Structure 1
């Protein structure tokens, strides 16, 4: 395991200690950001804790995060989403995670997704494969599915109304109709399920770079494919789709 990946896993440990203690807390503080999305005291506490550890142990690295700002720069940048799935977190739904990615010249080279309420963690580093483990369990290498026919595919998305505002509900429904089954696991989880081979396609009409940076490397190291909805393999395209690779072009055409 590379030193960067080992450090990223320690950052996730620090995040888990905070989020686990604040999950379903009766005194959780919730505010609204200018875009009306919620932020809790746990979100800011996690990002502040991770930034402090990076400053202490990787002082030359830049940091960018959802809550405290910053941007991905040339060289090395840690990109953070302290709680992906904040709406789930504040409502007591256990599907949320801390997302941590190390970017090098704009490309993710390390990714960690830690979901303590689901007792699950996923991670990857470029050239080191994709891995997952349940709490206390042994790590296991993961890979995408071998499904090749769109009619046999399992599809997931996030909030359906986002397709109306940012892409096309009709196009998404056309993709859903072409697939065998569809759900809305949402946010990070659906992309992790693609990496594990549990589902075959996950698509989102609107994302930010911190939402998907570690998921890109996780899915790619698991043998799958990541892109925005135009097919560009970038985390900056404002949308995202992951797949087992076999179904990617077919799905893109249905969403075009």
Structure 2
């Protein structure tokens, strides 16, 4: 039975790889109705990402994708849980519901430790969407996202730069400078998506600095190799004085024998 399931999944994937979206979708739908999470998430993915599937009308695409994301999320699939938050945040296949989006992001953050869900919660705390606006909690969730995944460090850096500007404006407002701050209406000056423009500018500046440092590092002349330490000449020992010749004892001359 298990081998048959694998073969059916591979057949459906082969149809998807060859561009036969309708055939792949039908095969995944049959398996999804049997409760297999992989098939449920693949059905939702095809309906969400491709426009080549012609089985359902355009009005049915997102609601059916939402249905299968819901089934896959119920089986613990993290991406499906985040997709549910996205669908309720943007109003795909349902009405815009920030409170429900927060619930799904919080579940993905607490149960699956998803960096994407933590980042989204930070953004919603920053904007006050479906949850109380709190700059400090926004920074906390941004920091948690950076700790949860190295891939989130650059987006978190950009978000924190933007958050610093928002915090500065709020701080000036708290210092009874509301007249000055009220004149700085960024939504009216730069548009409702000024934060995206700011993050884009910061990303370009960051990329320019990194490229400049890499070019400067490549242009630097190579260091000469370190010279090995030279051996210190050892002082030569003074020549030992030659021992004086020892006098050799000579035998005394023998007396000549008296001639008889």
Q: TM-score, normalised by structure 2?
A: 0.26
Q: Could you say which structure has the larger radius of gyration?
A: 2
Q: Of Structure 1 and Structure 2, which has the larger fraction of its residues in helix?
A: 2
Q: TM-score, normalised by structure 1?
A: 0.26
Q: Of Structure 1 and Structure 2, which has the larger fraction of its residues in strand?
A: 1
